[in-house]
Structure 1
């Protein structure tokens, strides 16, 4: 097993985590203009246009990917973006990391995997870290939004189980076809659950288009494309620890670009969460599900 990373590849790993971490602040900016579910629909519509022509057809897998589009595309991202609208990017960037301990727990239930005391400890530390952040007075009145982000993390772990049951399918194919199936679902959900879409479309300018392009082109097409390429070169044990940089850059993007306040509770709770997730990732990195979108 190879653990050394070439300098260029190290740069690519870090660049991807910067893009993924920065997406929390970028999404917050987009939510100032576009309703959450509609913004997700726009993201997936552009992902479809970019990826589908190159993805090929995963024969025999489309019904399962259709189910995945409901769980991941519709439920996870709708909950994530709706929750992010009313909490700061830093809190969301840390809280969504609970998808890893949730995935470990569900893997134990679904596949009979043994948790072990180290992963159990990691789960406890991660949840305790988010609890520290949730106890801050500044989040009073935003608990529903925080619960939506944590719920999105739990839903992602369910999607991770669905992907494992898919077997060997190229990650680009999964994301391309899931985007195709999810786009009309999200558009319909936005029509039913949200309002102001037409006004948002009329007010949209080049900045709105850049935000959607950042999510579809940088986060998904280039970000995950680079990630999959690196996974072909390096074992998942080498790659997955780099994802621990994402919450760091997520918090940093909120502080630098959104003037969010870096509180003591956020620092302590964030550090606890990352340490807890880190224990799980290092012990069983495949639980982090590198094939499907996380950010």
Structure 2
């Protein structure tokens, strides 16, 4: 990645790590599916009136909305409501990296390089260590819900990558159209038809602050940058940065709720960072780009990559 895109990916990881603390605060007043629906309703309105719809099909927008947003966050919010700790969620959610690389290889023919595979394997070892340290406080049901959320995110990543949209913000805003109604419908079945109105009319200031963080920073800023990066680089290169989210999330939960990590968790977090480094600087990066070109990259995009390597291309909207 170019240095500015690397910095952007790291900033997104910090936002998403802190985001789970914000979600836990909001869930104290609002049912999980209603809270998730509110988040994406506020992403759509009023942004859809000012942000142009990206040049992708409605099927792509629906796929990104239903999998990257509704599926992922509906399951995450439900898992946290059922007792999944805020510091542990971003760790288990990193299963999305494995799902994304697998799906991108099958659907998009993006073969991971040897360096990326070594980094992923190292990261998985770190994930296992942290999970081992925290497993005693995580019930199985919520844990499996977060793994399913990782699968949903991986599917959404693959759809976004296949679209290669140059407007990450447009993809976030317009795909969010497909999120609130399914989540509210599920909430009406689970919590009752009046749950949404009652919860929203009794929201406290901390809950509104939590909503602001999840809408503006996590969704509009974070996912705009994320989808832009997915449109520029192979999926395996982008999703590697999400390995930074668990240590950041654990630190944020520690500072916010006094959730002190154990020695094994700290060791696992350090190994995660090592895995990120191996994935990003490992051998074979140029080969990954060539492999992607052979798999069907357009000549125009190949030209952009060549110009970018020479430092003459400034990149797309970030």
- TM-score higher than 0.5: yes
Question: C-alpha deviations, 1:4-36, integer Å up to 9, x for none?
Answer: x69xx96x7765544332111111111122121
Q: How many residues are treated as equivalent by the alignment?
A: 281
Give the secondary-structure state (helix, strand or coil) at the position aligned to 1:64: helix
- The equivalent residue for 1:109 is 106
- The equivalent residue for 2:174 is 177
Compared with structure 1, are the counterparts of its residues 39 and 120 closer, same or farther at alpha carbon in structure 2 (3 Å cutoff)? same
Contact 1:37/1:78 (<8 A) preserved:
yes
The worse-fitting range, judged by mean Cα deviation, of 191-200 and 44-53 is: 191-200
Q: Report the TM-score, using the length of structure 1 for normalisation.
A: 0.79
Contact 1:24/1:250 (<8 A) preserved:
yes
Q: Identify the structure with bigger relative contact order (alpha carbons < 8 Å, sequence gap 6+).
A: 1
Task: Report deviation, 1:111.
Answer: 2.8
Compared with structure 1, are the counterparts of its residues 151 and 269 closer, same or farther at alpha carbon in structure 2 (3 Å cutoff)? farther
Task: Report deviation, 1:244.
Answer: 5.1
Q: Which of the numbers 115, 119, 133 marks the counterpart of 2:116?
A: 119
Instruction: Give the whole-Å Cα distance in 2 for the aligned partners of 1:111 and 1:15.
Output: 27
Question: C-alpha deviations, 1:94-146, integer Å up to 9, x for none?
Answer: 22223223211222222333334433333333333333233346535512212
- The equivalent residue for 2:97 is 100
* Structure 2 unpaired stretches of 5+: 293-315
Task: Tell me if 1:190 matches 2:200.
Answer: no
Instruction: Give the whole-Å Cα distance in 2 for the aligned partners of 1:60 and 1:158.
Output: 17
- The RMSD of aligned alpha carbons is 3.5
Task: Report deviation, 1:197.
Answer: 4.2
- The equivalent residue for 1:83 is 79
Contact 1:76/1:152 (<8 A) preserved:
yes
Instruction: Give the whole-Å Cα distance in 1 for the aligned partners of 2:55 and 2:113.
Output: 37
| Greater C-alpha radius of gyration | 2
- The equivalent residue for 1:32 is 28
Q: Report the TM-score, using the length of structure 2 for normalisation.
A: 0.74
Contact 1:51/1:221 (<8 A) preserved:
no
Give the secondary-structure state (helix, strand or coil) at the position aligned to 2:87: helix
Task: Report deviation, 1:198.
Answer: 4.9
Instruction: Give the whole-Å Cα distance in 1 for the aligned partners of 2:21 and 2:246.
Output: 12
- The equivalent residue for 1:45 is 41
Task: Report deviation, 1:52.
Answer: 0.9
